């Protein structure tokens, strides 16, 4: 049986950040296992804030080398009408409009640093008492790996979700996304009023557009219909290559994002980072920075032999995200929307720009 000091499940941003930080701290008895082969698709708008940009840089990856730069044309809309121009100082967009290149570059950085990563290998079961993880290799054969520490960085749909099942998931966001070739000018549009407690982004860069809708998930709501309605009202259906008819829209991807921080440590040697910890801002959906930071915090915990660094970081996120969730409840109330978009943007445009940058985009 193979045995490693640390096994990390998932080679997304959180898992790779953890592996790189461990390596930096002198640990190289690490195995990362990843279900897919890189480059792999992850349903994500791929926006990164200045702080996320710096976090990647601190971990050794320059997002500018993955086609990331500022788009200056950044506008806010409500109910189809433009309300406010934003002086974009914080939000970077990728030329590939999603995260494929960024994740691939991060993965390759880890591999070239000497970290062992096994692709097309899936974690299928864990036995915490005996410190054993069962993995399925590309040929479909199962084997067991023994670990001292196990870090779950397997996103929202991984097996760690089952380990944490005892805690009921009360609230979560849904996000739908479609990427297509278009002739829209480079720019970022954020639309309010198309979904009840969320927003729509229309992000165009170099002839590719990414449209995404997020909302506080409510069973029974037909999100596909809301999405279609928005696409029609924005005049996007039938006018863009690859988006001639509704059949194309139905190829869109959807995913949930977590709301609320979960338990960061189970026992004394199983850690949860990234989305599986709940490290995603409930209001903005920004999760990359918190994924990277929680991955690094888990590494510091392992290096120091104490779970406290990750526990402390999880606590700070719990407080921060509770505030953002409260803001989510208030911000989408109709009178507040009226005040912000009908009064605020007209009379105090500078304040709206500042508040938007400060509380939503610069995170
Ligand atoms: C539509 C949408 C738009 C978003 N837009 C943004 C944005 O613009 N900016 C931003 O900062 N955040 C955004 N987010 C949030 C962001 O995508 C997540 O917070 C981030 O991906 C979390 O990183 P992670 O490493 O925890 O998980 P992931 O990126 O999901 O990585 C998990 C990895 O684990 C692997 N895996 C899963 N199960 C197993 C298993 N059993 N065995 C082995 N491997 C496994 C997966 O294949 C995957 O590679 C968005 C989310 C959605 C849904």
What is the C-alpha separation between 273 and 103, in angstroms, rounded? 16
Residues 6+ apart with CB under 8 A from 117: 11, 19, 31, 32, 33, 34, 107, 110, 111
List the single range of 34-48, 165-179, 180-194 with lowest mean pLDDT: 165-179
List the single range of 60-74, 77-91, 240-254 with lowest mean pLDDT: 240-254
pLDDT of amino acid 248: 61
Query: Is 90 exceeded by the pLDDT of residue 215?
Result: yes
pLDDT of amino acid 206: 85
H helices of the chain, in order, are 13-24, 50-58, 100-112, 160-163, 223-233, 246-249, 288-304, 308-331, 334-338, 345-347, 349-355
pLDDT of amino acid 348: 83
- Going by their DSSP bridges, the two strands 30-33 and 2-9 should be labelled as parallel
Q: Which of 324, 214, 215 has its CA nearest to residue 279?
A: 324
Which of 49, 214, 279, 285 to mutate to test ligand 1, by most ligand atoms within 8 A of the CB atom? 285
- Per the omega criterion (within 30 degrees of 0), is the bond before 39 cis? yes
Query: Is 90 exceeded by the pLDDT of residue 207?
Result: no
Query: Is 90 exceeded by the pLDDT of residue 159?
Result: no
Q: Which of residues 91 and 115 earns the better pLDDT score? A: 115
Q: Which of residues 65 and 183 earns the better pLDDT score? A: 65
Q: 312 C-alpha vs ligand 1 centroid, how far in Å? A: 22
Cβ of residue 91 lying under 6 Å from some atom of ligand 1: no
Select 2-49+99-170+257-329's CATH number: 3.90.550.10, 3.30.559.30, 3.50.50.60, 3.40.640.10.
3.50.50.60
Residues 280-308 pLDDT 10s? 999 999 999 999 999 999 999 999 999 99
pLDDT of amino acid 362: 72
Cβ of residue 287 lying under 6 Å from some atom of ligand 1: yes
pLDDT of amino acid 3: 97
Cβ of residue 46 lying under 6 Å from some atom of ligand 1: yes
Nearest CA to ligand 1 atom 17: 44
């Amino acid at each position: 049986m193979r045995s490693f000091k640390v096994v990390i499940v998932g080679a997304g941003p959180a898992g790779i950040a953890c592996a790189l930080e461990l390596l930096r701290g002198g640990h190289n008895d690490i195995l990362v296992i990843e279900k897919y082969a890189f480059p792999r698709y992850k349903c994500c708008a791929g926006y990164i804030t200045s702080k996320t940009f710096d976090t990647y840089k601190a971990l050794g990856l320059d997002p500018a080398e993955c086609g990331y730069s500022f788009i200056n044309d950044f506008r806010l809309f409500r109910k189809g009408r433009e309300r406010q121009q934003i002086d974009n100082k914080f939000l970077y967009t990728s030329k590939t409009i999603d995260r494929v290149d960024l994740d691939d570059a991060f993965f390759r950085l880890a591999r070239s640093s000497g970290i062992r990563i096994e692709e097309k290998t899936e974690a299928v079961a864990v036995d915490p008492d005996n410190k054993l993880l069962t993995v399925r290799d590309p040929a479909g054969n199962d084997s067991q790996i023994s670990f001292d520490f196990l870090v779950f960085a397997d996103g929202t749909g991984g097996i760690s979700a089952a380990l944490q099942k005892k805690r009921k998931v009360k609230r979560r966001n849904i996000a739908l996304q479609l990427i297509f070739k278009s002739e829209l000018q480079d720019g970022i549009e954020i639309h309010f009023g198309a979904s009840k407690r969320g927003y729509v982004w229309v992000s165009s860069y170099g002839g590719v557009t990414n449209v995404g809708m997020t909302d506080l998930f409510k069973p029974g709501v037909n999100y596909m219909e809301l999405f279609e309605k928005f696409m029609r009202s924005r005049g996007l259906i039938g006018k863009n290559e690859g988006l001639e008819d509704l059949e194309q829209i139905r190829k869109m991807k959807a995913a949930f994002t977590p709301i609320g921080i979960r338990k960061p440590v189970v026992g004394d040697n199983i850690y949860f980072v990234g989305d599986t910890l709940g490290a995603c801002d409930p209001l903005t959906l920004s999760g990359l920075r918190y994924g990277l930071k929680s991955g690094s915090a888990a590494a510091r915990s392992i290096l120091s032999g104490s779970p406290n660094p990750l526990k402390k970081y999880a606590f700070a996120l719990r407080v921060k995200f509770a505030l953002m969730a409260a803001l989510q409840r208030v911000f989408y109330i109709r009178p507040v929307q009226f005040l912000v978009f009908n009064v605020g943007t007209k009379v105090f445009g500078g304040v709206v720009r500042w508040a938007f940058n400060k509380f939503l985009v610069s995170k």
